[in-house]
Structure 1
Amino acid sequence: MPEVIFTGPAGRIEGRYHPARQKNAPIAIVLHPHPQFGGTMNHQIIYQLYYQFVHRGFSALRFNFRGVGRSQGSFDHGTGELSDAAAALDWAQTINPEAKSCWIAGFSFGAWIGMQLLMRRPEIEGFISIAPPANLYDFSFLAPCPSSGLIIHGDKDAVVPAKDVNTLVEKLKTQKGIVIEQKVLPGANHFFDGKVEPLLTSIGQYLDKRLKTPERKPAA
C-alpha cells in the first residue's frame, strides 16, 4: 500500500494507492467524509471500503482532500474537493492508461463529491454511496444519473434521516437505463457504530453481483 503524492489544483495531495496485477484492471477512487468533522482517508470505513476494491482486483486510490493530513490547501465547501477528486482520477488514469472503467465510492460528504464527479466523467460505470447527505446538500445535479450504483444507509441515522435518502433514491429510480440499488441497514446510525461489518458485507455482495465474481469465503 504505497504512499503517493500527486498534484491537485491547491498543491500537493497525499494518497494511498494499491495497483492491480492486471494491466487493464478497473480503477476505484474512494472519498472520505467531511474534512471539518474528522474525515480523512484513514477513516475506518474508508480504509475498509478501499480494500473491498483491492481484493476484487481494482487499482484503488484513496486520498486526503485539500487541507487534510499532508494535502495542501484549505477546505473549500465542496467546490475544491470536487476538483481534488477529478485530479485523483486523472492521476490514476495516467498510471493505468489501459484501465477500461472506473468506480467511485464515498461516505457522507465524500458520497456527495463522488456523485458530482460521476456526472462529469462518463467513464465512471459504477458507484457506492454510503449515507449520502441528501438533506444537507443539493443532489438535483443528478439529472439524469448516468450510472448504476448502490446507495446504502442506516435507518437510525440522525444526521441524514432515512426519509431524505429515500426521496433521493425514488427520484433516481425513475430514470431509464440504470439500476439504483438501495440497502437500508437496520439499527445503523450515520457512523455505522457497531454496524461496520454488515455495511462491508452488503457492499461486498453488491460488488460481486455487479462484477459477477464468485462468492468470497472470509479469510481464515
Structure 2
Amino acid sequence: MLTRETPVFIDGPCGQLEALWLDTPDARGVALICHPNPVQGGTMLNKVVSTLQRTARDGGLATLRFNYRGVGASAGDHDMHSGEVDDAQAAAHWLRLHYPQLPLTLLGFSFGGFVAASLGGRLEQQGIELAHLFMVAPAVSRLTAENPPAQRCPLTLIQPEADEVIDPQAVYAWSAGLGRAHELLKVAECGHFFHGKLTDLKDLLLPRLSN
C-alpha cells in the first residue's frame, strides 16, 4: 500500500491551496479531511488530522487534506466563517474531478468539524450524495442557518468527554436536537487533542470507514 502523500496545489477562491494527496490504488472511496482552527495554530499537519488521514488510508480510501486560506503556503487571509467552507468546496471539487465515480467521505476535527458539516450541506444541496460525515470534537456552535450541516448522509460524532476546548455538553445538546439518525461516540478520559487516545480514535473510525 502506498503511504507517502504527494504535495499538490489546488485552485481555491483566494488563490492556491496547499494540500497533501494520497492516490490509493484501487481506492473504494475518497476522503477529504478538514483541519482545526487556523487562528489557534491549526493546520493540515495537526496530529488528529494526521490520524484521520492514516485511518482513511487504512480503510482503502484515497485521501486529501489541505490548508485553509492564510495557512502554510495557502493564499489569502483567514475568514473563520464561510471562507474556509469555500476552500473546502474547492478541495472537494478537485477530488471529484480526479475520482468522479467514487463516493466521498468528509472528516473534520474541531473547527474542521464545522467546515466539513457545512460543506456536506452545500454538496447535498447540489445533489451530491456523501458516503459519510465524521465530526470529531466539532465546533457545533459555528453551525448556522447560513451554513447548515449535511442532512442525508450517515453521520458520526466523536466527542472527548474531558474536552477542554469544545464543551462536551454543547455537542451532546446539539446531537440531541438533530432530529435525524446519527451516531454519538463518547471517548472517556480524553481531552480535545486526544493525547494518549489517538489509537482509540482510530479504533472507532476504521470499522466505520471500511464498511
Q: Note whether the superposition's TM-score is higher than 0.5.
A: yes
Percent identity of equivalent pairs: 28
Aligned pairs, number:
202
Moved more, 32-41 or 140-149: 140-149
| 1:56 aligned to which of 52, 56, 59 | 59
**Structure 2 stretches of 5 or more lacking a match?**
none
Query: Do 1:118 and 1:146's aligned partners in 2 also have CA atoms closer than 8 Å?
Result: no
Is 2:121 the counterpart of 1:119? yes
* CA distance in structure 1 between the partners assigned to 2:57 and 2:101 by the alignment: 17
SS of the equivalent of 1:157 reads coil
How far has the Cα of 1:139 moved from its partner? Answer: 4.7
How far has the Cα of 1:98 moved from its partner? Answer: 2.5
| 2:156 aligned to which of 150, 159, 165 | 150
How far has the Cα of 1:204 moved from its partner? Answer: 1.5
CA RMSD, Structure 1 to Structure 2 (Å)? 1.6
Runs of 4+ in structure 1 deviating by more than 2 angstroms, as ranges, are: 138-144, 205-208
Is 2:167 the counterpart of 1:161? yes
Moved more, 119-128 or 38-47: 119-128
Q: Which amino acid aligns with 2:190?
A: A
Per the normalisation by structure 2, the TM-score is: 0.90
Q: Which amino acid aligns with 1:128?
A: F
How far has the Cα of 1:205 moved from its partner? Answer: 2.9
* CA deviation profile, 1:147-168 (whole Å, cap 9, x unmatched): 1121001111122222111111
| 1:42 aligned to which of 41, 45, 56 | 45
- CA gap of 1:126–1:90, structure 2 versus 1, over 3 A, is same
* CA distance in structure 2 between the partners assigned to 1:93 and 1:189 by the alignment: 34
Q: Which amino acid aligns with 1:118?
A: G
* CA distance in structure 1 between the partners assigned to 2:143 and 2:8 by the alignment: 32
- CA gap of 1:191–1:143, structure 2 versus 1, over 3 A, is closer
Q: Superposition pairs for residues 15-164 of structure 1, below 5 Å? A: 15-22=19-26, 25-99=28-102, 101-122=103-124, 123-134=129-140, 136-139=141-144, 142=148, 145-164=151-170
* CA distance in structure 1 between the partners assigned to 2:138 and 2:36 by the alignment: 10
* CA distance in structure 1 between the partners assigned to 2:144 and 2:204 by the alignment: 24
Per the normalisation by structure 1, the TM-score is: 0.86
- CA gap of 1:60–1:159, structure 2 versus 1, over 3 A, is same
How far has the Cα of 1:143 moved from its partner? Answer: 7.1
How far has the Cα of 1:97 moved from its partner? Answer: 2.2
**Structure 1 stretches of 5 or more lacking a match?**
212-220
The residue that corresponds to 1:199 in the other structure is 201
How far has the Cα of 1:189 moved from its partner? Answer: 1.3
Query: Do 2:35 and 2:43's aligned partners in 1 also have CA atoms closer than 8 Å?
Result: yes
SS of the equivalent of 1:153 reads strand
SS of the equivalent of 2:185 reads strand
